Amino acid sequence: MLVTQQPVFRKFWHAVMPLTELANGPKPFRLLGEDIVLFLDADGQPAALRDRCCHRTAKLSKGWCVDTDGKACGSGAIQCGYHGWTYDRSGQVIRIPQYEPDRRISPDYKTTAYHCTARYGYAWVALEDPIADIPAVPEFDDPVYRTIFQFYETWNTSPMRALENSFDNSHFSFVHRATFGVAASPKPSRYNLVENEGGFHAETVIEAANPAKFHAISGVTDPITTRHMRNAYFLPFARRLDIEYPSGIRHIIINCFTPIDDGRMQLCQWLFRNDSEADCAAQMLIDFDDEITREDKDILESTDPDALVDTRRRGVEYSMESDKPGMLIRKHLMQLLAKHGEAEVHRGMKVIPLAQAA
């Protein structure tokens, strides 16, 4: 599936950037193939515009924020770095420095504005009117949990590949054999899958290697521990990995696999823990998940990002029992496309020219 060719994804909120990244001025991002610029408005709220000035097409992300007097500041309106045309969060040009102050600015002078809001420390963007809410993450506001912003980085793969990998119990003994995978136990445990309108819940108990260096992470000292996992998939590209160790420690990872274009995604990863810094330092938790995350990234970047969701086409990829959650993700995506009158677009597709088709 080529995500940039499926308009329905424009109607979902996507986590695009930690708010801290915007403290020093506008930043560019490519979402679903569309170049956008993010900045903080006068109220300190994130805003997103098409990254293209309507004067001579310069990227607005080359510019900076200005206050109402036109002075540079950390948040406010965004000023183009080429000739200084200045835009508010609605995309309207509100100031042209070359004009006399009382000269009217044409309302035609504007660029596209997108839905943009702050949640869980990130700027979220929907390119068109959103049809679903941002997934609920109750731990963010729960004092029992601490929030650790783990990873924000680009992967050369697709959200579909990252998602199916998230629920794939068969890869631990191989991809993660140097970390938590148990090489001697390649047979995966089964998930109990319960579907809902926006995705599914997936519960299972797995075995995980627990060497001494992981004892503070798990709160367990046995060489092999169990992980009770209550995971969830949220349409279209988000997931929850909720691990409970026998110690009662919860290690909850939220991921948005934000689609950049048809070959890349942005990994946005939050970690929530119900222990304290004294129990296990945040840096140790980042290092622990970093090692595992490098293992996944390396193998996923070797796959074809154009993961097919239409399972009726045989002979391109084969599946086994443990791919069931991945097949369920495909089913939900196919249903979403069908509901919005879209067919899956993929790279191997034979495109019949219109004239020939008629």
Q: Contact residues for ligand FES (CB under 6 A)? A: 53, 55-56, 58, 80, 82-85
Return the closest-CA partner of residue 93 out of 81, 78, 115, 72: 78
The set of residues, in sequence order, having a beta carbon less than 8 Å from that of 92 and lying 6+ positions away, is: 107, 109, 110
Residue nearest to Co ion (CB): 296
Distance, in Å, from the CA atom of 258 to the CA atom of 232, rounded to the nearest integer, reads 17
Exposure string for 115-137, b = 16+ CB within 10 A, e = fewer: ebbebbebbbbbbeebeeebbeb
Residues 91 and 113: beta-carbon distance below 8 Å: yes
In the complex, what is the shortest distance from the CB of residue 115 to ligand FES, in angstroms, rounded to a whole number?
Answer: 24
Whether the CB-CB separation of 295 and 303 falls below 8 Å is answered with: no
What is the nearest approach in angstroms of ligand FES to the Cβ of residue 110?
12
Name the residue nearer to ligand FES (CB basis): 56 or 339: 56
Tell me how far, at minimum, the Cβ of 332 lies from Co ion, in Å: 21
- Single-letter amino acid, residue 169: N
Closest separation between CB of residue 262 and ligand FES, Å? Answer: 29
Range 231-270, binding Co ion (CB under 5 A) = none
Residues 276-315 that bind Co ion (CB under 5 A): 296
Q: Which does 296 bind (CB under 5 to 8 A by kind): Co ion, ligand FES, none?
A: Co ion
**CB closer to ligand FES, 65 vs 134:** 65
Angle at 82 between CA 81 and CA 84, to 5 degrees: 70
Q: Please give the angle made by the CA atoms of 35, 293 and 267, to the nearest 5 degrees.
A: 15
- Whichever of 178 and 316 has its CB closer to Co ion, that residue is 178
Q: In angstroms, give the least distance from the CB of 231 to Co ion.
A: 12
Nearest CB to ligand FES, comparing residues 57 and 196: 57
Q: Which is nearer to Co ion, 54 or 163 (CB)?
A: 163
Query: Measuring CA to CA, how many Å separate 62 from each of 34, 109, 145, 263, 322?
Result: 16, 19, 38, 25, 47
The one of Co ion, ligand FES, none whose footprint includes residue 83, by CB under 5 to 8 A per kind, is ligand FES
User: Residue numbers of the site for Co ion (CB under 5 A)?
Assistant: 296
